[in-house]
Amino acid sequence: MRFFDAHSDIWYNVGMRMEKGETNVLENCHLPQLKEGKVIGVNAALWTKPDSKNPSERFIKLLGARSKELTKIGKESEDFVIVTKSEDIQKAVERGKIFLISSVEGLIGIGKNLNFLYTLYELGFRVVSLTWNEENDLAAGCGTKDENKGLTNLGKQAVKIIEELGMVLDVSHLNEKSFWDVAKISEKPFIATHSNCYSLCETPRNLKDEQIKEIAKRGGIIGISALPRIVDRENPTVEKFVEHIKYAANFVGVDHVGLGLDFSDYLEEFLNKQSHEKMSTKDLEDATKLPQIIPLLEKAGFTKKEIDRICFLNFVEFFKAVL
Protein backbone atom coordinates (compact mmCIF):
# COMPACT_ATOMS: atom_id res chain seq x y z
CA MET A 1 0.00 0.00 0.00
CA ARG A 2 1.61 3.24 -1.20
CA PHE A 3 0.44 6.75 -2.08
CA PHE A 4 1.66 9.74 -4.06
CA ASP A 5 0.12 13.13 -3.31
CA ALA A 6 0.21 15.43 -6.34
CA HIS A 7 -0.54 18.54 -4.29
CA SER A 8 0.47 19.55 -0.79
CA ASP A 9 1.22 23.13 0.31
CA ILE A 10 4.33 21.99 2.14
CA TRP A 11 6.68 24.79 1.07
CA TYR A 12 4.10 27.43 1.96
CA ASN A 13 3.74 25.78 5.35
CA VAL A 14 7.52 25.72 5.83
CA GLY A 15 7.68 29.47 5.22
CA MET A 16 4.82 30.29 7.56
CA ARG A 17 6.18 28.15 10.39
CA MET A 18 9.68 29.53 10.01
CA GLU A 19 8.26 33.01 10.50
CA LYS A 20 6.96 31.78 13.86
CA GLY A 21 10.44 30.59 14.78
CA GLU A 22 9.98 26.89 14.05
CA THR A 23 12.78 24.83 12.53
CA ASN A 24 13.03 21.41 10.85
CA VAL A 25 9.44 21.77 9.66
CA LEU A 26 9.58 18.88 7.19
CA GLU A 27 10.80 16.49 9.86
CA ASN A 28 8.64 17.72 12.72
CA CYS A 29 5.37 18.68 11.02
CA HIS A 30 5.10 16.51 7.92
CA LEU A 31 7.26 13.40 8.17
CA PRO A 32 5.25 11.56 10.86
CA GLN A 33 1.94 11.88 8.99
CA LEU A 34 3.47 11.01 5.62
CA LYS A 35 5.03 7.86 7.07
CA GLU A 36 1.86 6.81 8.85
CA GLY A 37 -0.16 7.38 5.69
CA LYS A 38 2.26 5.29 3.55
CA VAL A 39 3.03 8.30 1.33
CA ILE A 40 6.11 7.67 -0.79
CA GLY A 41 6.14 10.96 -2.67
CA VAL A 42 4.66 14.46 -2.73
CA ASN A 43 4.41 17.34 -5.15
CA ALA A 44 5.22 20.07 -2.60
CA ALA A 45 3.79 23.46 -3.51
CA LEU A 46 4.92 26.99 -2.74
CA TRP A 47 1.84 29.22 -2.75
CA THR A 48 1.73 33.00 -2.51
CA LYS A 49 -1.51 34.50 -1.24
CA PRO A 50 -2.75 36.90 -3.94
CA ASP A 51 -3.99 39.38 -1.36
CA SER A 52 -0.55 39.72 0.21
CA LYS A 53 0.49 43.36 0.63
CA ASN A 54 3.43 42.76 -1.71
CA PRO A 55 3.12 39.36 -3.46
CA SER A 56 6.59 39.55 -5.02
CA GLU A 57 8.24 40.25 -1.68
CA ARG A 58 6.19 37.51 -0.05
CA PHE A 59 7.19 35.09 -2.80
CA ILE A 60 10.90 35.82 -2.28
CA LYS A 61 10.56 35.26 1.48
CA LEU A 62 8.92 31.88 0.91
CA LEU A 63 11.62 30.90 -1.57
CA GLY A 64 14.23 31.79 1.02
CA ALA A 65 12.50 29.72 3.68
CA ARG A 66 12.42 26.72 1.36
CA SER A 67 16.12 27.09 0.58
CA LYS A 68 16.94 27.32 4.28
CA GLU A 69 14.97 24.15 4.98
CA LEU A 70 16.70 22.33 2.14
CA THR A 71 20.08 23.40 3.49
CA LYS A 72 19.16 22.01 6.90
CA ILE A 73 18.07 18.59 5.61
CA GLY A 74 21.16 18.37 3.43
CA LYS A 75 21.86 16.43 0.27
CA GLU A 76 21.76 13.06 2.03
CA SER A 77 18.67 13.27 4.19
CA GLU A 78 17.71 10.13 6.08
CA ASP A 79 14.06 10.61 5.13
CA PHE A 80 13.70 12.74 1.97
CA VAL A 81 14.97 12.94 -1.57
CA ILE A 82 14.50 16.26 -3.37
CA VAL A 83 13.63 15.55 -7.00
CA THR A 84 15.04 17.53 -9.91
CA LYS A 85 15.36 14.67 -12.38
CA SER A 86 13.69 11.31 -12.94
CA GLU A 87 16.58 9.33 -11.48
CA ASP A 88 15.93 10.95 -8.11
CA ILE A 89 12.51 9.28 -7.93
CA GLN A 90 13.98 5.84 -8.52
CA LYS A 91 16.70 6.51 -5.96
CA ALA A 92 14.11 7.44 -3.35
CA VAL A 93 11.99 4.36 -4.01
CA GLU A 94 15.00 2.05 -3.83
CA ARG A 95 16.16 3.57 -0.54
CA GLY A 96 12.73 3.72 1.05
CA LYS A 97 12.73 7.51 1.29
CA ILE A 98 9.98 10.02 0.57
CA PHE A 99 10.61 12.03 -2.59
CA LEU A 100 9.58 15.65 -2.93
CA ILE A 101 8.91 17.32 -6.26
CA SER A 102 8.75 21.11 -5.91
CA SER A 103 6.04 23.21 -7.53
CA VAL A 104 4.96 26.83 -7.66
CA GLU A 105 1.23 27.31 -7.21
CA GLY A 106 0.48 30.55 -9.05
CA LEU A 107 3.04 32.91 -10.53
CA ILE A 108 1.71 36.16 -9.09
CA GLY A 109 5.04 36.50 -7.29
CA ILE A 110 7.06 36.94 -10.49
CA GLY A 111 4.84 39.70 -11.88
CA LYS A 112 5.85 40.29 -15.50
CA ASN A 113 9.39 39.00 -15.06
CA LEU A 114 9.40 35.84 -17.18
CA ASN A 115 13.16 35.48 -16.77
CA PHE A 116 12.46 34.43 -13.20
CA LEU A 117 11.09 31.16 -14.58
CA TYR A 118 14.70 30.22 -15.32
CA THR A 119 15.60 31.00 -11.70
CA LEU A 120 12.79 28.78 -10.47
CA TYR A 121 14.08 25.94 -12.63
CA GLU A 122 17.60 26.39 -11.26
CA LEU A 123 16.15 26.35 -7.73
CA GLY A 124 14.71 22.91 -8.45
CA PHE A 125 11.07 23.64 -9.20
CA ARG A 126 9.62 21.23 -11.74
CA VAL A 127 5.84 21.91 -11.70
CA VAL A 128 4.28 25.32 -12.29
CA SER A 129 0.74 26.71 -12.40
CA LEU A 130 0.20 30.13 -13.95
CA THR A 131 -2.29 31.37 -11.40
CA TRP A 132 -4.24 30.51 -8.30
CA ASN A 133 -7.88 31.69 -8.20
CA GLU A 134 -6.95 35.29 -9.02
CA GLU A 135 -6.26 37.07 -12.29
CA ASN A 136 -2.59 38.01 -12.68
CA ASP A 137 -0.25 39.23 -15.44
CA LEU A 138 -0.22 35.79 -17.07
CA ALA A 139 -3.68 34.25 -16.85
CA ALA A 140 -7.14 34.28 -15.31
CA GLY A 141 -7.89 32.01 -12.40
CA CYS A 142 -11.21 30.34 -11.69
CA GLY A 143 -12.23 33.19 -9.42
CA THR A 144 -12.14 35.70 -12.28
CA LYS A 145 -15.58 37.15 -12.93
CA ASP A 146 -15.00 37.94 -16.60
CA GLU A 147 -15.22 34.57 -18.37
CA ASN A 148 -13.75 36.07 -21.55
CA LYS A 149 -10.35 36.61 -19.91
CA GLY A 150 -7.74 33.94 -20.52
CA LEU A 151 -4.01 33.79 -21.09
CA THR A 152 -2.32 37.11 -21.72
CA ASN A 153 0.47 37.46 -24.27
CA LEU A 154 2.92 37.15 -21.37
CA GLY A 155 1.09 34.03 -20.25
CA LYS A 156 1.49 32.46 -23.67
CA GLN A 157 5.20 33.22 -23.57
CA ALA A 158 5.38 31.71 -20.08
CA VAL A 159 3.83 28.45 -21.29
CA LYS A 160 6.51 28.14 -23.98
CA ILE A 161 9.33 28.85 -21.52
CA ILE A 162 7.94 26.39 -18.97
CA GLU A 163 7.79 23.65 -21.58
CA GLU A 164 11.20 24.49 -23.04
CA LEU A 165 12.75 24.23 -19.58
CA GLY A 166 11.17 20.83 -19.03
CA MET A 167 8.86 21.90 -16.23
CA VAL A 168 5.33 20.48 -16.08
CA LEU A 169 2.37 22.81 -16.47
CA ASP A 170 -0.39 22.45 -13.86
CA VAL A 171 -3.83 23.67 -15.01
CA SER A 172 -5.64 23.43 -11.67
CA HIS A 173 -7.19 26.79 -10.67
CA LEU A 174 -7.31 28.16 -14.23
CA ASN A 175 -10.64 29.46 -15.51
CA GLU A 176 -12.08 27.73 -18.57
CA LYS A 177 -10.78 30.28 -21.08
CA SER A 178 -7.25 30.06 -19.73
CA PHE A 179 -7.46 26.26 -19.71
CA TRP A 180 -8.40 26.12 -23.37
CA ASP A 181 -5.79 28.72 -24.25
CA VAL A 182 -3.19 26.45 -22.67
CA ALA A 183 -4.56 23.44 -24.53
CA LYS A 184 -4.31 25.35 -27.80
CA ILE A 185 -0.66 26.41 -27.53
CA SER A 186 0.99 23.76 -25.34
CA GLU A 187 3.01 21.04 -26.99
CA LYS A 188 3.55 18.70 -24.05
CA PRO A 189 1.31 16.82 -21.61
CA PHE A 190 -0.12 18.92 -18.81
CA ILE A 191 -1.73 17.91 -15.55
CA ALA A 192 -4.34 19.07 -13.05
CA THR A 193 -2.66 18.31 -9.74
CA HIS A 194 -5.70 18.94 -7.52
CA SER A 195 -9.07 19.21 -9.26
CA ASN A 196 -12.31 17.25 -9.16
CA CYS A 197 -15.24 16.58 -11.48
CA TYR A 198 -17.63 19.44 -12.18
CA SER A 199 -20.38 16.94 -13.03
CA LEU A 200 -20.37 15.80 -9.38
CA CYS A 201 -19.70 19.15 -7.71
CA GLU A 202 -20.52 22.28 -9.70
CA THR A 203 -17.84 24.79 -8.75
CA PRO A 204 -15.49 26.72 -11.06
CA ARG A 205 -12.55 24.98 -9.35
CA ASN A 206 -13.55 21.65 -10.85
CA LEU A 207 -13.07 20.30 -14.36
CA LYS A 208 -15.86 19.85 -16.85
CA ASP A 209 -16.02 16.64 -18.86
CA GLU A 210 -14.38 18.13 -21.96
CA GLN A 211 -11.49 19.43 -19.86
CA ILE A 212 -10.98 16.02 -18.26
CA LYS A 213 -11.04 14.47 -21.72
CA GLU A 214 -8.48 16.99 -23.02
CA ILE A 215 -6.03 16.33 -20.20
CA ALA A 216 -6.25 12.60 -20.84
CA LYS A 217 -5.93 13.05 -24.60
CA ARG A 218 -2.73 14.99 -24.04
CA GLY A 219 -1.27 12.25 -21.85
CA GLY A 220 -1.88 14.04 -18.56
CA ILE A 221 -3.36 13.06 -15.20
CA ILE A 222 -6.04 14.52 -12.94
CA GLY A 223 -5.24 14.48 -9.23
CA ILE A 224 -8.49 14.03 -7.31
CA SER A 225 -8.59 16.34 -4.30
CA ALA A 226 -9.87 15.97 -0.74
CA LEU A 227 -10.49 19.73 -0.48
CA PRO A 228 -14.02 19.68 0.96
CA ARG A 229 -15.57 22.49 -1.09
CA ILE A 230 -14.70 20.75 -4.35
CA VAL A 231 -15.70 17.28 -3.14
CA ASP A 232 -19.24 18.25 -2.18
CA ARG A 233 -20.52 21.66 -1.23
CA GLU A 234 -22.95 20.35 1.37
CA ASN A 235 -21.58 17.14 2.81
CA PRO A 236 -17.99 16.30 1.83
CA THR A 237 -17.14 12.73 2.82
CA VAL A 238 -14.50 10.21 1.84
CA GLU A 239 -17.20 8.24 0.00
CA LYS A 240 -17.95 11.25 -2.20
CA PHE A 241 -14.22 11.74 -2.76
CA VAL A 242 -14.10 8.19 -4.12
CA GLU A 243 -17.07 8.99 -6.37
CA HIS A 244 -14.91 11.61 -8.11
CA ILE A 245 -12.19 9.01 -8.65
CA LYS A 246 -14.70 6.54 -10.07
CA TYR A 247 -16.32 9.16 -12.33
CA ALA A 248 -13.01 10.30 -13.84
CA ALA A 249 -11.71 6.75 -14.24
CA ASN A 250 -14.90 5.59 -15.96
CA PHE A 251 -14.80 8.63 -18.22
CA VAL A 252 -11.17 8.64 -19.42
CA GLY A 253 -9.61 5.49 -17.98
CA VAL A 254 -7.77 4.59 -14.80
CA ASP A 255 -4.38 5.57 -16.27
CA HIS A 256 -5.30 9.27 -16.17
CA VAL A 257 -6.44 9.47 -12.55
CA GLY A 258 -4.36 10.01 -9.41
CA LEU A 259 -4.51 11.73 -6.04
CA GLY A 260 -3.88 15.44 -5.43
CA LEU A 261 -5.17 15.75 -1.93
CA ASP A 262 -4.56 19.36 -0.87
CA PHE A 263 -4.88 18.59 2.83
CA SER A 264 -5.32 21.63 5.08
CA ASP A 265 -4.84 20.14 8.55
CA TYR A 266 -1.37 21.68 8.96
CA LEU A 267 -2.49 25.04 7.55
CA GLU A 268 -5.58 25.88 9.60
CA GLU A 269 -3.83 28.34 11.91
CA PHE A 270 -2.51 30.31 8.91
CA LEU A 271 -5.54 30.48 6.63
CA ASN A 272 -7.87 32.60 8.80
CA LYS A 273 -10.94 30.72 7.64
CA GLN A 274 -14.40 31.44 8.98
CA SER A 275 -15.32 28.97 11.67
CA HIS A 276 -18.34 27.70 9.76
CA GLU A 277 -16.36 26.60 6.71
CA LYS A 278 -15.44 22.93 6.57
CA MET A 279 -11.67 22.56 6.50
CA SER A 280 -11.59 18.84 5.76
CA THR A 281 -13.49 16.01 4.11
CA LYS A 282 -15.03 13.64 6.65
CA ASP A 283 -12.83 10.58 7.27
CA LEU A 284 -10.13 11.98 4.99
CA GLU A 285 -8.83 14.81 7.15
CA ASP A 286 -5.10 14.26 6.68
CA ALA A 287 -2.47 11.94 5.21
CA THR A 288 -2.82 9.39 7.99
CA LYS A 289 -6.33 8.55 6.75
CA LEU A 290 -5.24 7.59 3.24
CA PRO A 291 -5.15 3.80 3.83
CA GLN A 292 -8.91 4.01 4.56
CA ILE A 293 -9.66 4.73 0.91
CA ILE A 294 -8.40 1.32 -0.22
CA PRO A 295 -11.47 -0.72 0.83
CA LEU A 296 -13.71 2.00 -0.63
CA LEU A 297 -11.91 1.76 -3.97
CA GLU A 298 -12.27 -2.03 -3.84
CA LYS A 299 -15.97 -1.63 -3.09
CA ALA A 300 -16.24 0.72 -6.09
CA GLY A 301 -15.03 -2.12 -8.30
CA PHE A 302 -11.37 -1.29 -8.82
CA THR A 303 -8.85 -4.12 -9.00
CA LYS A 304 -5.62 -4.12 -6.98
CA LYS A 305 -3.66 -3.17 -10.09
CA GLU A 306 -6.02 -0.28 -10.81
CA ILE A 307 -5.84 0.90 -7.20
CA ASP A 308 -2.05 0.95 -7.36
CA ARG A 309 -2.22 3.02 -10.52
CA ILE A 310 -4.59 5.54 -8.97
CA CYS A 311 -2.88 5.77 -5.59
CA PHE A 312 0.70 6.23 -6.76
CA LEU A 313 1.83 4.59 -9.99
CA ASN A 314 0.23 6.89 -12.58
CA PHE A 315 1.86 10.05 -11.26
CA VAL A 316 5.13 8.31 -10.43
CA GLU A 317 5.45 6.94 -13.97
CA PHE A 318 4.44 10.30 -15.42
CA PHE A 319 7.11 12.25 -13.56
CA LYS A 320 9.76 9.60 -14.22
CA ALA A 321 9.01 10.00 -17.94
CA VAL A 322 8.94 13.80 -18.18
CA LEU A 323 11.58 15.03 -15.70
The beta-strand segments (E) located in the chain are: 3-8, 39-47, 80-83, 98-105, 125-129, 168-170, 222-224, 257-259
**What is the identity of the amino acid at 235?**
N
Q: Which residues of the chain have pLDDT under 70?
A: 268-278
- Digit-coded pLDDT (tens) for 259-276: 999 998 888 666 655 433
Cα separation, 318 vs 323, whole angstroms? 9
State the pTM of this model: 0.96
CB-based contact 38:290 (threshold 8 Å): yes
Cα separation, 318 vs 269, whole angstroms? 34
CB-based contact 118:138 (threshold 8 Å): no
- Digit-coded pLDDT (tens) for 274-301: 433 567 999 999 999 999 999 999 999 9
Tell me, what's the pLDDT at 277?
52
**What is the identity of the amino acid at 304?**
K
Instruction: State the DSSP code for 289.
Output: G
Tell me, what's the pLDDT at 52?
86
Tell me, what's the pLDDT at 270?
66
Cα separation, 2 vs 194, whole angstroms? 18
